Amino acid sequence: MHPFWNTLVKAFPTWLAPNLITFSGFLLVVFNFLLMAYFDPDFYASAPGHKHVPDWVWIVVGILNFMAYTLDGVDGKQARRTNSSTPLGELFDHGLDSWSCVYFVVTVYSIFGRGPTGVSVFVLYLLLWVVLFSFILSHWEKYNTGILFLPWGYDVSQVTISFVYIVTAIVGVEAWYEPFLFNFLYRDLFTTMIIGCAVFVTLPMSLLNFFRSYKNNTLKHNSVYEAMVPFFSPCLLFILSTAWILWSPSDILELHPRVFYFMVGTAFANITCQLIVCQMSSTRCPTLNWLLVPLFLVVIAVNLGVASYLESLLLYLLTTGFTLAHIHYGVRVVKQLSSHFQIYPFSLKKPNSD
């Protein structure tokens, strides 16, 4: 995609701040998520016998997804073109990418949805975690080696899914009911692609780069414990959220899948952003993210047999709290970095240039 991005970035005015490009792309991803949430709130719209998502929605989502992916690809090039690369830009780019993971995966889910021809909400939950761990694996690699490797799997998935959205508008969701090859359904292809990219591309390359750094004696952290600290909070988040699903008296994931995915994705984004800040500042990654404390208390309450209506209320309160806490954290960090480097986050103008 680099030849395309290199050509496209020349059309951008030199006064356009890279962070504004980054944020615009993120807003497009969020808009897609909200648009699909309106037309397919419970992921049944693509199931046989249900009212399907209008064709024009798939076209809009496909175009906006490709636009968001393109903006995510050119923001760094715009920064280098305007000589405005900063740690704030790096945090802004990868920090928003970490939150985009859940928006992207959940929006894609509407293509197949749940039901006899779709994917169960629990399988999608596991696939979401495959994507989340793949994302944090790359930043774990940079935390230890100082180099961020971005696999081609991301580019392939973005271009493919944008194309699939458009195709869905043309052929209809019914086309995905048919087997892709023999008894191999398109939903199975979707699952295989996500797992395959993680297992055969992202994981091997990250481990390979890690061991290369180890052999060259260039690792930033010499002990196994310090090297693995970034995985503690994500793994605990996975354990707690999975325990909630398994112990839920009201089957919370079946009842509120979209909200549950969003809660997990937001907590993960906060954990990842803290890791990114630590790798940028060469400081130690925190062992435990404080957002896991209220989640732990909720899981304990669920295990003790909380009433079904209270469980739903707890999920919504937790999701709201996580969202506000994550936004608050992001605003604080952006303000501190802007003040330290004497820059505006959405402008190339210097604060003291007046």
- Residues with active-site annotation: 94
Tell me how far apart the alpha carbons of residues 310 and 312 are, in angstroms, rounded to a whole number.
5
- Cα 133–336–266 angle (5° rounding)? 30
**Torsion sign, CA atoms 27, 29, 30, 36:** positive
Which residues of the chain form beta strands (DSSP E)? 179-181, 184-185
Distance, C-alpha 271 to centroid of its chain:
12
Q: Long-range contacts for 199-208 (Cβ within 8 Å, ≥24 apart)?
A: 201/151, 201/152, 201/153, 202/134, 202/137, 202/138, 202/151, 202/153, 203/134, 203/137, 205/149, 205/151, 206/137, 206/138, 206/140, 206/141, 206/149
Give the strand pairing for 184-185 and 179-181. antiparallel
